[in-house]
Structure 1
Amino acid sequence: MPGERGAAPGSGPEARPRGPGVGDPVPAFALVNQYGETVTETTPGSDPFFLVFYPFAFSRVCTSELSELEAARGDFATRGVRVYGVSVDHKFALRAYAQELGLGFELLADFWPHGAAARSFGCFDDAHGRAARATFLVADGHIAARFDSAVGASRPLTAYRLAVEALPRD
C-alpha cells in the first residue's frame, strides 16, 4: 500500500526498507539521464515525481514494470506527476533500453559513483551491486509515498495509482 514503509509480503527481513520514509525530506541527488542531462531532486520544480529504482536494464521483470509504467504515464501526467526510472546502468545502455521499450520518461544512471543515489535512498543491494526494487513518490521536497518489492517481483501498478490519488488536489 502506498505510504507504507513495509516490505512486500513474504519478502523476508532482508528486504525491509532502509532510508527515507513517508514525510522525510528527499535525499539530494544528481544523476544523468539517457541523454547525458543532469537531473536533480529539484529538476521537476514543484511537480511531484516518482523515482522508480530497479535492478538492471534489459532484465525481464524490470522490462515488464517499466513498460507498464509507460502505458500509465499519461494518467500520472494528468495529475502533474512525472516518472523517472533509476538503475546502476550506464547512460548509453539506458538510452538503448529506453529506445527499445519506447519509453517517454527519463531513465537515470546511478552508474558512478556506483549506486550512490540508491544508497542515499536506502535501497542499494551491496551483495549484488544493484538497486533494490523501491519506489518513492516525491512531492514538495518530501517523500509522499514509498513502496518496495522483492527483486523478482513487480510493484503493482495499483500502488502507483493509489499514491497519486492520495496527493492533495490543487
Structure 2
Amino acid sequence: MRIQNVFTAIAATAGAAVLAAAPAFASGSPHFINNLTKVTSADLTSITVAFKEAGLESGSVETITVTAHLEATYQCVNRGGHNPDDPKKTVISGDYSKSGEFTAARNGNVTGSLTVTAPAASSVLDCPSGQTSVHTVSTWSNVSVTDADTSATVSVAGTYSFGKPVD
C-alpha cells in the first residue's frame, strides 16, 4: 500500500510540474501594436521607425526588419553649388531595409527602433573632376515592419519627401 502512495505522489508532482511549466512555453498571438509602431523621424538620407510587438514568449529573440521604398535623386554639383550645363544625375528607386535582433521582455513585448538609410551619394553617382555627387531629393514610402521569426507584419502609413533638385 505504501508503494502505491509513493507512485501516486510522484505522478501528482510530475503533473503539477508540467502544468506549472506550461505558461513558460506558451506564447500569445504575436502582433505589432499599430499606434506604437510609427515613423519617429525622417529626412533626406534616412527614416527611423519605432515599434512594439506583443504576444511573444518571454525571452524569445526576434529578428525584426524595417523596409521602406525609396525614390531618390543624386546629382553632380560644381564648386559653386550649381548643376552644370551638362547635368549628370541618377534617379534610384527600390526597397531598402534594416534588420536587428531584439529580446522579448518578461511580459512578451519587444520595443525598439530601426533606421533605414539611403545609399551614399558617392556610391551612386560618379561625377567628373571638379564636381561632387550630392543626394538632392528623397521620397520614402511603403514602410513596413516584419518579424521574421513570427511572420507578424504591419504597414506604416505615410509618404515622406525631402529636398529639391539643384539648378
The answer to whether the superposition gives a TM-score over 0.5 is no
More helix by share: 1
For this structure pair, what is the TM-score category when the shorter chain's length is used for normalisation? under 0.3
Greater strand share, structure number: 2
Flag the structure with larger Rg.
2
Greater relative contact order (Cα < 8 A, sep 6+): 1
